[in-house]
Amino acid sequence: MTERTPVLVLGLGNVVCTDDGAGIAAVHKLIRDYEFPQGVVVLDGGTLGLSLLPLVDSADQVILVDAIGAEGPPGTQVRIEGEEVAPAVYERLSPHQIGVADLLAGASLLDRYPDRVVILGVVPDSIELGLERTPAVQASIPELVVRVVEELRSLGYPPVPSTESRDEGHGSTAHVARTLGV
């Protein structure tokens, strides 16, 4: 039997599609600025989609961090949980993230759907090709990081501010791909 991960924080998005990379930016900031207690795994999942299934189906609780289509101006913070998650992954995540729906459906089919899934994100302004996030979304990243930290605290896994410079490489998409063999 696979060892369970109590909490998986997974940044999602496409960094070459302007604001679609907001979740990735937030997760990279988390990795740089915080240390996490045992039982918390924080990763940049990028657009790996179904390849992330081994991570998701071994997690008790999953926090997805992404750009989310919702009401409000660009940069508005959004939180989705419970019964709202399934419709949100089909309707509100960017078109680049259809793999998230497949990912959660796959975990459900294997009867390994996490006990709790929460989506934290921001409303994008643009998901057109481009490496820079729009000003409103870029300005919202620190607040998104705070919301992830608060979510972890509410679950009993409080991160602590890092006292040293951290390498983001361990939580990167490339690291996840190597770990999963994709």
Rounded CA separation 59/4 (Å): 6
Please give the residue range of the domain that contains residue 10.
Answer: 5-180
SS (H, E, C) 52-91: HHHHHCCEEEEEEEEEECCCCCCCCEEEEEHHHHHHHHHH
Count how many domains the chain has: 1
For residue 33, what is the domain's CATH number? 3.40.50.1450
**Which residue, chain included where needed, has tokens 């930290």?**
149
Distances (CA, A) of 70 to 12, 33, 92, 126, 164: 17, 28, 7, 13, 36
Token digits for 140?
């919202």
SS3 149: helix
Could you tell me which residues are beta bridge partners of residue 174?
Answer: none
Q: What is the pLDDT along the chain (182 residues), one digit of tens a residue?
A: 457 889 999 998 888 888 989 999 999 999 999 999 999 999 998 777 767 777 888 889 999 999 988 889 999 999 999 888 877 776 655 555 556 767 777 777 777 778 888 999 999 998 888 889 999 999 999 999 999 999 999 999 999 998 876 555 555 444 444 444 43
The rounded distance, in Å, linking the Cα atoms of 177 and 182 is: 5
